[in-house]
Amino acid sequence: MFVTDFIEKVARVSKALTTKSPAVPDVHKHAVHNPQRYRGMHEIDYETCIGCDSCNKICPTNAIEMKKLPFKKQNIVPEVNLSVCIFCGLCEDVCPTKPKKSIKLSGGRYDMLTGGWHEDQDSFWVNVDIPEEYIKSRLEAEEADRVKKELAKKKREAQAKAKAEAESKAIL
């Protein structure tokens, strides 16, 4: 009995030492944290977000902070502190943008696994980094829209003035 146990143990240890597959799978190749119910970290689309603040208001743990953007409209976008987020998904549920939610839990991606420790809460955020070109083009579009509205307003005022003058002449 003793000899059999000993031989079995030796066989198990030898197999463990010589096997080629690692004890822990490479999570970047095999999404082990990818069950159907795993909701993953947030994806935030700054292009479709309308800055309504609903996700921030509904978050039960204050995990969301709205980042200010240099635009006149749609000038805030959410960022998420994953160290206090409870992954309830309410932010995604309440987001009104269609057909795609501007904030959504990525559904099974394993990006939250990192190689090291997070030294503080600030290193565990889903941040939104907007490229300079996008900011420039949005600002240009806003300025073009402002000029267009200004011209339309002047045109309306001129038409109203001309109409009033024509009416006063008709009375005389």
Cα gap 33→88, rounded to integer Å: 17
Beta strands in 45-113 (DSSP E): 64-68, 76-81, 103-105
Q: Which of 7, 11, 27, 86 binds ligand SF4 (CB under 6 A)?
A: 86
How far apart are the C-alpha atoms of 16 and 23, rounded to whole Å?
9
80 makes contact with ligand SF4 (CB under 6 A): yes
Contact between 61 and ligand SF4 per CB under 6 A: yes
The window from 27-35, 85-93, 112-120, 157-165 that contacts ligand SF4 (CB under 6 A) reads 85-93
CB of 47 to ligand SF4, least distance (A): 11
> Does 91 sit near ligand SF4 (CB under 6 A)?
yes
Nearest Cα neighbor of 42 from 131, 120, 125 is: 125
Q: Which two tokens stand for residue 168?
A: 């006063």
Applying CB under 6 A, which residues contact ligand SF4? 49-55, 58-61, 63-64, 78, 80, 85-91, 94-95, 97, 102-103
